[in-house]
Chain A
Amino acid sequence: MGMIQATQIVNEERPIAGKTVSVSVVQRLRPPTRFQVALLGMQGLLQGMWLTLTYFWSPVEVVTREYPENRDSLKITERFRGNLRFKFPNEVAHQTHSALLEQIAQETQTHPEVAENWIRDEDDTRWYHNCTGCSKCEEACPNASIRILTRHGEILDDREIDRFVWRLDSCMFCNACVLACPWDAIEMTGGFENAVFDRRLLVYSLNRLAAPRINLIQDEQDPAVRARMIDWRSRYGGPIPLGGTGLPNLPAIGAPKVQECPVSHAGSTAVAP
């Protein structure tokens, strides 16, 4: 109804300000009468009913996903925002690693991401990351779900990431951190199977190496120096026990059970090696 059709446009000459100008005039439509409106409405209703009937008869596509059964063939869309994750640019070369993870996860009946703690890849290059520890993501997070702990790198004499602590339990998957990151170091993945029996497991670090940015490491030719640049960081453990940091009335995983007073995040500082 609202569209202008070519047949409505009429070219004519009109005197405007003393001159004859050729103009295109769109003829006014007569507003539809009530009866026409009613007919149109009726037609719309019937069209809708016909559409739903065709769906009823033969659905174009059944949108229901029967999740646990179709776990292997589950399609997660590109834009799905699941778990936050570090980008590991060298990862492609390490497909065998994920196979290894799968194997361990199956043998030990654990989550593949938990199994990550149990292996220490001999080849650290897989875990080189883009993060500089600039804390932009921490500032961007509206839920304070990110805690960046940095350290002073001896070799390059500069700040570098020590731990990227992510609180899955308070994240709302808004993607703000990913957008805020100037170095394209983190991404949202399709992972959504996060059920655990202990909520402390939901606070963990994303990085595997306390190390400078990937190109800074790779610029260094001497393998011995390279090795001194990096320190291994597991998912939960490390110099600062991460599991459950800041959860009220819950001692962190691995921490001794003490009557602790609430510790604010701001209290912990960067750790120098």
Chain B
Amino acid sequence: MAATVARTWEPNTIAQRAAAAATENLWVTAAYLIGSMIGVVAVLSLLGMVLIYVERKVAARFQCRLGPTRVGPFGLLQTLADTLKLVFKEDFVPEMADKFLHMLAPFLALLVPVVLLALLPYSPSMQVADLNIGILFVTAIGGFGVMGILIAGWASNNKWSMIGAMRAGAQIISYELSATLALLVVVLFSGTMSLSGIVQSQQDGWWIWRGHAAGFCAFMLYLIASTAELNRTPFDIPEGESELTAGFHTEYSGLRFAFFFLAEFINMFTVSALTATLFLGGWMPFHIGDWAALNSQMDLIPPIIWFGAKTSAVIFIIMWFRWTFPRLRVDQLMHLEWKILLPIGFANLLLASIIVLINAYPFPLELPQ
């Protein structure tokens, strides 16, 4: 492997390859499409299981417990067993529920992370589609995620579900603002909205440190806001067990409940992957400006490993939050967003635009003319 040779980080997405093949052979295109569909399903289920297992183990370690140990070596098959159990459980729909919407909601909830999975650049040659409006698309789709939850709460015809869904709606819509403000900072820095373009713009250094305080601040903002969008503790008021039984998925059971569960964990992955892509350089190895010696050493590690490591680190941080912090009350949650995070977000955006204006960051970017 001639890894030390200067790499071209030219992205080559599956969509591009399929489009290129379309002119010659439709079968190859079909193969690409079917292949990526199977890939998405495989990645989904595998990711879900791995993440749930990891979450349980990590949670256990944080609380001085052992976590699953019985099923399979180190309890590795525990999630599989749980999945099987969920698959065989009765799929119960309440009598007075809106049957169609009740059925639809879990799919809507799962749709969002699945679509986002297709946008993520895993490595230069592994990305399903690279949209030139990537960030815009991500925010639009991310905001759509609340539909599944709202519909679930509405269709269940249960006051707890309804309250949980309403809370989720309020929370997600509020925190969407901060998250978008943080994303805008990165868009400012890199001058592009395409996700792989953003990764490439970090060739000289990741935005988290290259953007001075603004980069770091945006990173923190995005981390907090996206944790809130994930409905995870400390922002888990939509499904507060103590006051709302299980919130919007109270009335769900069996496979449909599993869908919500899966959506939650895949969401966690996509959010972490996005954080890694935007602030930590995605698949881009750790580079510092023109330090060729360091850069070429870092290039030895394949991009997919860089991507995986960064994403896992962010996932770990999110789990760490969950098992450390106390929950927020509803009003505190709104207070945090509207009175603290949002002003900080605006100020941060201003700061970032000044930095970009005077091109103040180390190793200034040569914007394509």
- A binding-site residues for B, Cβ under 8 Å: 45, 48-49, 51-53, 55-56, 59-64, 66
A61: chain B residues within 8 A (beta carbon): 64
CB distance from A6 to the nearest CB of B (A): 32
> Do A62 and B66 touch across chains, with their CB atoms under 8 A apart?
yes
CB distance from B335 to the nearest CB of A (A): 12
> Do A52 and B324 touch across chains, with their CB atoms under 8 A apart?
yes
CB-CB nearest in chain B for A46: B324
A59 to B63, CA, bound (A): 8
B43-78 residues with Cβ-Cβ distance < 8 A to A are 58, 60-66, 69
> Do B69 and A59 touch across chains, with their CB atoms under 8 A apart?
no
> Do B62 and A55 touch across chains, with their CB atoms under 8 A apart?
yes
> Do A52 and B62 touch across chains, with their CB atoms under 8 A apart?
yes
CB-CB nearest in chain A for B64: A59
Does B92 interact with chain A (Cβ within 8 Å)? no
Could you list 27 examples of A-B contacts with CB < 8 Å? A48-B324, A48-B325, A49-B320, A49-B324, A51-B324, A52-B320, A52-B323, A53-B320, A55-B62, A55-B63, A55-B64, A56-B62, A56-B320, A59-B61, A59-B64, A60-B64, A61-B64, A62-B65, A62-B66, A63-B63, A63-B64, A63-B65, A64-B60, A64-B65, A64-B66, A66-B66, A66-B69
In the complex, besides A45-B324, A56-B61, A62-B65, 7 extra interface pairs with C-beta distance below 8 angstroms are A56-B62, A56-B320, A59-B61, A63-B65, A64-B60, A64-B66, A66-B69
A49: chain B residues within 8 A (beta carbon): 320, 324
CB-CB nearest in chain B for A61: B64
6 nearest CB pairs, A to B: A64-B66, A59-B64, A52-B324, A56-B61, A48-B324, A64-B65
**B contact residues, range:** 10 to 19
CB-CB nearest in chain B for A56: B61
CB distance from B304 to the nearest CB of A (A): 26
A266 to B210, CA, bound (A): 83
> Do A45 and B325 touch across chains, with their CB atoms under 8 A apart?
yes
A59: chain B residues within 8 A (beta carbon): 61, 64
A114 to B61, CA, bound (A): 40
Q: With A48-B324, A48-B325, A49-B320 given, is the CB distance from A56 to B58 under 8 Å? A: yes
B277-328 residues with Cβ-Cβ distance < 8 A to A are 320, 323-325
CB distance from A221 to the nearest CB of B (A): 59
- B binding-site residues for A, Cβ under 8 Å: 58, 60-66, 69, 320, 323-325
A58 to B127, CA, bound (A): 38
> Do A62 and B64 touch across chains, with their CB atoms under 8 A apart?
yes
B320: chain A residues within 8 A (beta carbon): 49, 52-53, 56
CB distance from B227 to the nearest CB of A (A): 13
B66: chain A residues within 8 A (beta carbon): 62, 64, 66
B69: chain A residues within 8 A (beta carbon): 66
CB distance from B35 to the nearest CB of A (A): 39
CB distance from A31 to the nearest CB of B (A): 19
CB distance from A176 to the nearest CB of B (A): 28
A52, A53, A61 — most chain B CB neighbours (10 Å): A52
CB distance from A52 to the nearest CB of B (A): 4
A60: chain B residues within 8 A (beta carbon): 64
CB-CB nearest in chain A for B340: A38
B61: chain A residues within 8 A (beta carbon): 55-56, 59
A62: chain B residues within 8 A (beta carbon): 64-66
CB-CB nearest in chain B for A38: B340
A59 to B60, CA, bound (A): 10
CB distance from A49 to the nearest CB of B (A): 5
B65: chain A residues within 8 A (beta carbon): 62-64
CB distance from A129 to the nearest CB of B (A): 41
CB distance from A272 to the nearest CB of B (A): 55
B60, B66, B324 — most chain A CB neighbours (10 Å): B324
B64: chain A residues within 8 A (beta carbon): 55, 59-63
A61 to B65, CA, bound (A): 8
CB distance from A55 to the nearest CB of B (A): 6
CB distance from B104 to the nearest CB of A (A): 39
B325: chain A residues within 8 A (beta carbon): 45, 48
A61 to B63, CA, bound (A): 10
CB distance from B135 to the nearest CB of A (A): 29
CB distance from B356 to the nearest CB of A (A): 28
A55 to B325, CA, bound (A): 15
A45: chain B residues within 8 A (beta carbon): 324-325
B324: chain A residues within 8 A (beta carbon): 45, 48-49, 51-52
A83 to B64, CA, bound (A): 29
CB-CB nearest in chain A for B66: A64
A60 to B323, CA, bound (A): 17
CB-CB nearest in chain B for A51: B324
CB distance from A38 to the nearest CB of B (A): 8
A45 to B58, CA, bound (A): 19
A48: chain B residues within 8 A (beta carbon): 324-325
CB distance from A70 to the nearest CB of B (A): 12
CB distance from A35 to the nearest CB of B (A): 12
A63: chain B residues within 8 A (beta carbon): 63-65
A56: chain B residues within 8 A (beta carbon): 58, 61-62, 320
A64 to B56, CA, bound (A): 14
A49, A56, A60 — most chain B CB neighbours (10 Å): A56
CB distance from B315 to the nearest CB of A (A): 14
CB-CB nearest in chain A for B63: A55
A53 to B321, CA, bound (A): 11
